[in-house]
Chains A and B, each alone.
Chain A
Amino acid sequence: QKEVEQNSGPLSVPEGAIASLNCTYSDRVSQSFFWYRQYSGKSPELIMSIYSNGDKEDGRFTAQLNKASQYVSLLIRDSQPSDSATYLCAVNIVGDSDMRFGAGTRLTVKP
């Protein structure tokens, strides 16, 4: 079983809709959770981090964490074509050591 799992997609949503990206992780001691966005041919860039259960909102982005279910999600409201990218979920497994990445979900927002 992979440590961090994501649906590879592609996920396609119309412009203005809510895009919902999901991620599950296997290690119960995971402490920190991140969403990175990667445009084609570019490097991953951090868009959200979340450390405690519940929701965290930043503009059109909301990260949701449920440690009991070992589940973290990213909601993108009012999706724009510029949101089309691959979204990588990352989990810090043990303390401050290396971060484990999911395979990424490719999102396409259609005008």
Chain B
Amino acid sequence: DARVTQTPRHKVTEMGQEVTMRCQPILGHNTVFWYRQTMMQGLELLAYFRNRAPLDDSGMPKDRFSAEMPDATLATLKIQPSEPRDSAVYFCASASTGNIQYFGAGTRLSVL
């Protein structure tokens, strides 16, 4: 079953807490993207990796967000400390080089 898997699907937390979101890309895909989607801003690219190396994280607030890819089957996005303005749906997508991006189901984050 070739699909991008994201966990958790929903997360409710309090301001100041650490949040970790995980993504398992499609097997064989070498590029992983993290997006954030809100009603106001639409779909924003936060960061992406190719062959596990970060290529662009300019869309990510560096002071509280971090993205890593510890191995080819796992990408993580962490927020520490979380703030109410971080409430959004976070999507992971994966692709083969130069090809179409396939999206996971997303993590719906609510920071109270």
Return the CB mask of A61-88 against B: 1 if under 8 Å, else 0. 0000000000000000000000000001
Interface: B51 (CB within 8 A)? no
Interface: A103 (CB within 8 A)? yes
A43 touches B106 (CB 8 A): yes
Given A43-B91, A104-B42, decide whether A95 and B103 contact each other with a Cβ distance below 8 A. no
Interface: A58 (CB within 8 A)? no
Q: Which one of B13-21, B61-69, B77-85, B93-101 is at the A interface?
A: B93-101
Interface: A29 (CB within 8 A)? no
A99 touches B97 (CB 8 A): no
Q: Which one of A10-18, A20-28, A44-52 is at the B interface?
A: A44-52
Interface residues on B, range: 10 to 19
Q: Once A and B bind, how many residue pairs between them come within 8 Å at the CB atom?
A: 42
B43 touches A98 (CB 8 A): no
Q: Which residue of A lies closest to B92 (CB)?
A: A43
Please pick, from A46, A88, A97, the residue contacting B100 in the complex, using a CB distance under 8 A.
Answer: A46
B55 touches A43 (CB 8 A): no
> Which of B97, B100, B106 is packed against the most chain A CB atoms within 10 Å?
B100
The 5 A-B pairs of least Cβ separation, nearest first, read A96-B98, A103-B42, A43-B103, A101-B43, A44-B103
- Listed by A's residue number, 17 A-B pairs whose Cβ atoms lie within 8 Å are A32-B98, A42-B105, A43-B104, A43-B105, A44-B91, A45-B103, A46-B101, A46-B102, A90-B101, A96-B98, A96-B99, A97-B56, A98-B45, A101-B42, A101-B45, A103-B42, A104-B42
Q: Which residues of B contact A (CB under 8 A)?
A: 33, 42-43, 45, 48, 55-56, 91, 97-106
Q: Which residues of A contact B (CB under 8 A)?
A: 32, 34, 42-46, 49, 88, 90, 92, 95-104
**Additional A-B contact list (17), CB under 8 Å, known A46-B102, A88-B43, A98-B48:** A32-B98, A43-B105, A43-B106, A44-B103, A46-B101, A96-B97, A96-B98, A96-B99, A97-B55, A97-B56, A98-B45, A99-B101, A101-B42, A101-B43, A103-B43, A104-B42, A104-B43
